[in-house]
Structure 1
């Protein structure tokens, strides 16, 4: 059921007080006016604290700076005067005892009349004494069809034509933005170069960054890494490449559901976070990073409210990649938190969303310590797949050295013995390989020369890899994966022996 269909149903059912939280006041009022027109006999009155009632045939500015008078105006109208009364920002006055009492009195009367009161505000605030008589409605952000319609209207006015695939990409990039923000970005593009092009998609994503920064729960993470920047992990990369078009309209017409997400479990420094960034870049989707610590507040119920806000924001900005780094630290060993069950309630809300979500939010969670993860998180249905990311084998280490050296010294790749470097660095993770290359560069720079293969090996000899200092934990992870608990991210089915 669309918003307009539900809104009109509630009007016909004589629901006296509706509360619609939204930042899109203008777009909502246009939707209300359209519904009133379809119903045929409803006038629409708009009130705000500064101007009072606008367009009121019975007197201009009635109720100006007087919210109680605004309600008395509704009360004094004849029973035959059908109308929808839109009260902007009226939530600010609901704590006043006279306002609360007047609303409850009005609710009794309006149930028998074709009058409906609609409170419009940016956020929800309803005192307990009004909870029984107020019905909250959600006003969704513009749908893909609405966004495409707006883009089509603009292009038609300019006499431009573009391919449907490019229009789909604009629409996908704009989802999660208000219509006002979308129009603002389109106007910026036209003011800049007089037309809409493929490069303008990035401006849509920048507008999303602006809206996310204001929440202080999620971060809009820049993702410039490519799938080719990941050394090894061929099974995982193949899995991702097959799903590259799964968010397109063609995939919907084919009948494909949206991909749900991945859990990447394994050893630290093996490319799990890099993979999350590469997925977003390759699929041309915004990357949202959740710092789970920000979900937990000191007030009773605050953590649960922030969790709901996080979920609503992620779904509003869909399609997107939703990255939860080191989820084991947030939800591991919940019984020992001693927080009155807050962590358990937040976790329960989160995994329920994972299982039931139908929105195009692709969740990428990473974990280093699978022992501490609750079993509910690992069961089928939460994620599309669980991949184990282990230590790179020799072939993968060669690929990792090649990726980094090609970035650092693209014209001198032949000067480095990649095979020897991979052979001499068993047990090294991708992060550790990157660090020994940085150390080798320091050696060469301090001696005013290029760093060499020997410098890299010298730097490696000074490092004790995590595989040796946390040998027991890594062996447990390897045994866990070998038991069939997860799919192997690397094509080589074996595990390199830890020396």
Structure 2
């Protein structure tokens, strides 16, 4: 029995009157519910939907059709001592109705003393405030690796195919994060295309996974091609990451190491925090999911919490993976002053609890430009493995950044550029501003039908006003905050006040 079945069984035995299960996998959920009912003395299960009414029982076939209030009144007809579980499909659509709400609360009182339970099965979570104390939400996870393996073996056996154990393991890993219905569809598509399932079909599975993640509207599947060598400077941060290169392996588990929890990269914008998130995923060969925190707060009341749970469920189903929360300070700054009925606080609490208690191999990389605005609970030990401060690069690091970019743009003529001169001419420049100066120099050279040179880059530098000058006070405050020793420097030369300030 899996964790969902164990939890549901406990809630049924404890006589929780009204349960709510939000999932798009209706068929799989009903099969799991039926298994729980059978394990509890073959408890009777009744299913209702708006179009067909009650189904599967001769005496009540079609009862309550197109009548949600009558669907609830059906429980009055059941023997008081007979154990039963009533499943109401898509019933969330009727919870705002005054009569339905009142009847549910009346039933909740009575069912506490009877071996009966109501279970609302819906594709999304939508509970009115007046029913929040009556309804208990049950989480229904995506298929586990074991469930996926059993389903794949069934599909392969049905098509008469044989697959090596190693290839089967690879397909199982590729399918994690998909519903069983989507797995059936993508495998059927692969077999229809090639006549069999082979290694070429991994791209089909990956595209199906991207489609699923896109449909959540809160997570993006980001291709990560950046390497550690693409990051100029940040030697201490890179050393920390390289040391943990094998931390997600089975050898690390046997050694007794827990899964790494994550990183908070705080500091000045344009200094390589986002680039580092991508490089981590590429170096560790893990899928990279980017969370758009702003979308968590879009939509109707109550949807933010549901979206947060959905995000966590998908991230854990895709583990091991990297979850990149970009600019987390914009989402959770100033929580106390928000006028959103406590939504931001509840979402923040859910994320915090998950980060502190998660056992899954989800490595969270959060980035923040204004770390001083973050709630202190987020910075507490146990949320992240480490908090690094990424400040403006010094001259040596700027030389390395120029070298990285020019090696990508002009690998054959890198020696023609005076890296020392360029580094000395850019005090207070961030990595993003250095890249912008190179692009401006390329425009200058291209407009004159020649390649750009060091002088062009120097001219472009003179035209740019770096953030270190336009936001001098804010950057100085950040540097001083980091210098107090509250965070770990990402570079040996990070904390001293950079040139140009």
TM-score (norm 2): 0.83
In the alignment, which residue of structure 1 is the partner of 2:163? 161
TM-fit CA distance, 1:219:
4.0
Residue-pair matches, total: 495
Preserved CA contact (<8 Å) 1:175 1:316: no
**Structure 1 residues 47-99: Cα deviation after superposition (integer angstroms, max 9, x where no partner):** 22222333323364343334444445554455676543322122333444554
Preserved CA contact (<8 Å) 2:259 2:361: yes
In the alignment, which residue of structure 1 is the partner of 2:391? 390
Preserved CA contact (<8 Å) 1:471 1:498: no
Preserved CA contact (<8 Å) 2:101 2:131: yes
Cα separation, 2, equivalents of 1:311 and 1:53: 31
Asked if residue 439 in structure 1 is aligned to residue 440 in structure 2, the reply is: yes
CA distance 1:249–1:415, shift in 2 (3 Å): same
TM-fit CA distance, 1:30:
0.9
In the alignment, which residue of structure 2 is the partner of 1:180? 181
In the alignment, which residue of structure 2 is the partner of 1:266? 267
| 1:471-490 correspondence runs (5 A) | 471-490=472-491
Preserved CA contact (<8 Å) 1:264 1:364: yes
In the alignment, which residue of structure 1 is the partner of 2:225? 224
Cα separation, 1, equivalents of 2:116 and 2:341: 45
- For structure 1, the residue ranges without an aligned partner over 5 or more in a row are none
**Structure 1 residues 274-314: Cα deviation after superposition (integer angstroms, max 9, x where no partner):** 11222233334443434444444698xx4x75156325413
TM-fit CA distance, 1:138:
2.0
TM-fit CA distance, 1:115:
4.3
Cα separation, 1, equivalents of 2:22 and 2:346: 25
CA distance 1:239–1:93, shift in 2 (3 Å): same
Preserved CA contact (<8 Å) 1:392 1:496: no
In the alignment, which residue of structure 1 is the partner of 2:403? 402
TM-fit CA distance, 1:184:
2.4
CA distance 1:49–1:413, shift in 2 (3 Å): same
Cα separation, 2, equivalents of 1:128 and 1:39: 32
Preserved CA contact (<8 Å) 1:17 1:135: yes
**Structure 1 residues 320-376: Cα deviation after superposition (integer angstroms, max 9, x where no partner):** 433333333444456676778766665555444443444433222222333434443
In the alignment, which residue of structure 2 is the partner of 1:460? 461
**Structure 1 residues 195-253: Cα deviation after superposition (integer angstroms, max 9, x where no partner):** 55566555444334333434444444443333332222232223223334434555444
In the alignment, which residue of structure 2 is the partner of 1:310? 308
SS of aligned partner of 1:323: strand
| 1:45-194 correspondence runs (5 A) | 45-58=46-59, 60-77=61-78, 83-96=84-97, 98-100=99-101, 103=104, 114-126=115-127, 134-155=135-156, 158-162=160-164, 164=166, 170-194=171-195
487-496 or 172-181, which deviates more: 487-496
Preserved CA contact (<8 Å) 2:305 2:343: no
In the alignment, which residue of structure 2 is the partner of 1:368? 369
In the alignment, which residue of structure 2 is the partner of 1:33? 34
SS of aligned partner of 1:317: helix
264-273 or 92-101, which deviates more: 92-101
TM-fit CA distance, 1:434:
0.9
**Structure 1 residues 13-63: Cα deviation after superposition (integer angstroms, max 9, x where no partner):** 454443322211100111122223333433433322222333323364343
Preserved CA contact (<8 Å) 1:395 1:422: yes
TM-fit CA distance, 1:161:
3.2
TM-fit CA distance, 1:465:
3.1
In the alignment, which residue of structure 1 is the partner of 2:277? 276
SS of aligned partner of 1:289: strand
Preserved CA contact (<8 Å) 1:260 1:362: yes
Preserved CA contact (<8 Å) 1:177 1:317: no
CA distance 1:242–1:177, shift in 2 (3 Å): farther
TM-fit CA distance, 1:131:
5.3
TM-fit CA distance, 1:438:
0.8
Cα separation, 1, equivalents of 2:130 and 2:334: 39
Asked if residue 238 in structure 1 is aligned to residue 239 in structure 2, the reply is: yes
| 1:9-20 correspondence runs (5 A) | 9-20=10-21
TM-fit CA distance, 1:391:
2.6
